[in-house]
């Protein structure tokens, strides 16, 4: 699947639409989800144009991959989630339920997140 430069997260990265930023570095932007599923719900995205975890894991540089993983851990700690616990989710493709085609990791916490999966 080719990267769509008009996806909503690409627009956030360009500053075309606003976000509530929680973290930024050379490779990563993180912001609060617009429709939080738990009291704390943050999206962590690479600045590079990667469609999904499949694309990111195959084509991102080691520096980009390390930056995203480190950032997710730091954000969770900085938001006070490390002690109480949290869940990381990366939905990929149709069966994964991915809606926005720019790779992102969800950080969910602030309350018990619930069962690991539910299937329709
Ligand atoms: P996915 O289903 O692709 O894993 O998750 C996409 C997430 O992006 C959803 O949780 C959805 O609420 C969030 N989202 C969609 N549009 C926007 C937006 O314009 N701003 C923000 N902050 N989050 C968005």
* Residue 51 backbone dihedrals phi, psi, to 5 degrees: -75, -40
For the chain, give every domain's residue range. Answer: 8-109
Longest dimension (CA), the chain: 39
Query: Ligand 1 test: best mutation among 9, 18, 34, most atoms within 8 Å of CB?
Result: 34
| The predicted structure's pLDDT at residue 120 | 80
93 CA from centroid of ligand 1 (Å):
14
pLDDT digits (tens, 9 = 90+) for 12-57: 999 999 999 999 999 999 999 999 999 999 999 999 999 999 999 9
User: What does the alpha-carbon distance between residue 21 and residue 81 come to, in Å, rounded to a whole number?
Assistant: 17
| The predicted structure's pLDDT at residue 37 | 97
* Residue 23 backbone dihedrals phi, psi, to 5 degrees: -165, 145
Q: Which of 53, 102, 104, 106 is catalytic?
A: 104
Q: What is the mean pLDDT of residues 79-104?
A: 97
- Number of the ligand 1 atom closest to the C-alpha atom of 104: 4
Label residue 70 by pLDDT band (50, 70, 90): very high
Strands 40-46 and 86-89: unpaired
Known catalytic residue at 41: no
120 CA from centroid of ligand 1 (Å):
20
Decide if 111 contacts 20 (C-beta within 8 A).
Answer: no
Q: What is the mean pLDDT of residues 65-90?
A: 98
Select from 15, 25, 16 the least CA-distant residue to 71: 25
Which CATH code, of 3.90.870.10, 3.30.428.10, 3.30.565.10, 3.40.50.300, is assigned to 8-109?
Answer: 3.30.428.10
Q: What is the mean pLDDT of residues 114-120?
A: 90
Is it the case that residue 119 has pLDDT exceeding 90? no
Tokens of 6: 């008009």
Decide if 47 contacts 39 (C-beta within 8 A).
Answer: no
- Number of the ligand 1 atom closest to the C-alpha atom of 97: 2
Q: Would you say the CB of residue 98 lies under 6 angstroms from ligand 1?
A: yes
With pLDDT > 70 as the criterion, what percentage of the chain qualifies?
Answer: 100
Tokens of 90: 């990366």
Tokens of 112: 């018990």
- Number of the ligand 1 atom closest to the C-alpha atom of 19: 22
| The predicted structure's pLDDT at residue 110 | 98
pTM above 0.85, yes or no: yes
């Amino acid at each position: 699947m080719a990267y769509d430069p008009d996806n909503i997260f690409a627009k956030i990265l360009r500053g075309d639409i606003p976000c509530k930023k929680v973290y930024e570095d050379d490779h990563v932007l993180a912001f609060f989800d617009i429709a939080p599923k738990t009291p704390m719900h943050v999206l962590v995205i690479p600045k590079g144009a990667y469609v999904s975890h499949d694309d990111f894991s195959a084509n991102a540089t080691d520096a980009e991959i390390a930056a995203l993983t480190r950032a997710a851990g730091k954000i969770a700690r900085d938001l006070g989630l490390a002690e109480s616990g949290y869940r990381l989710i990366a939905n990929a493709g149709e069966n994964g339920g991915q809606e926005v085609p720019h790779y992102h990791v969800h950080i969910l916490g602030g309350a018990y997140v619930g069962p690991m999966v539910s299937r329709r």
